Amino acid sequence: MKESRIKTGTMLFPSIIKLCDDNLTNANCSSRNDFIEESILFYIGFLNKEKDAKYISETLESMFNATIQISEDRIAKLLFKLAVEVSMMMNIIGANHDIDDTTLKKLRGKCIQDVKSSIGTISLDNAIRYQNSID
């Protein structure tokens, strides 16, 4: 059963009302009344944080989850773009060079070791030096 609201009168300074109105969007509230209710609940949770650590932890968890999701989405988009560029590069190189399976297999093993040992930082200079040293 949904709880019904009780109409009350509250006196606030005009500067406080302006703060409420200016922050409705930031608080994800559709009205001044919603903003005041959310603010009261948050403040009560803050005051009772020692007794009700769950409230604060749920609030922080929600914030962290949102931040992680935004970062995850951004990284996924960047990885997709990078994969497309790498695929294009591999197709261009593959179309212009005749490399046998044995050489390709050896190169893949070397590249895996290079990436593992360098924590993913590969230098074009080192790759060119390596390629020019092969007989």
- Tens of pLDDT, residue by residue over 75-123, are 999 999 989 988 888 888 888 888 888 988 888 888 888 888 876 677 7
Give this prediction's pTM: 0.43
In tens, the pLDDT along 23-62 reads 998 888 899 999 999 899 888 877 877 666 666 667 777 8
Report the C-alpha gap between 104 and 101 in whole angstroms.
Answer: 5
Q: What is the C-alpha separation between 7 and 33, in angstroms, rounded? A: 11
Please write the tens of the pLDDT for every residue from 8-20. Answer: 888 999 999 999 9
13: phi then psi, degrees, rounded to nearest 5: -70, 150
How many CB atoms are located within 10 Å of the residue 82 CB?
Answer: 10
Question: With DSSP H G I counted as helix, E B as strand and the rest as coil, what are the percentages for the chain, rounded to 5?
Answer: 70, 0, 30
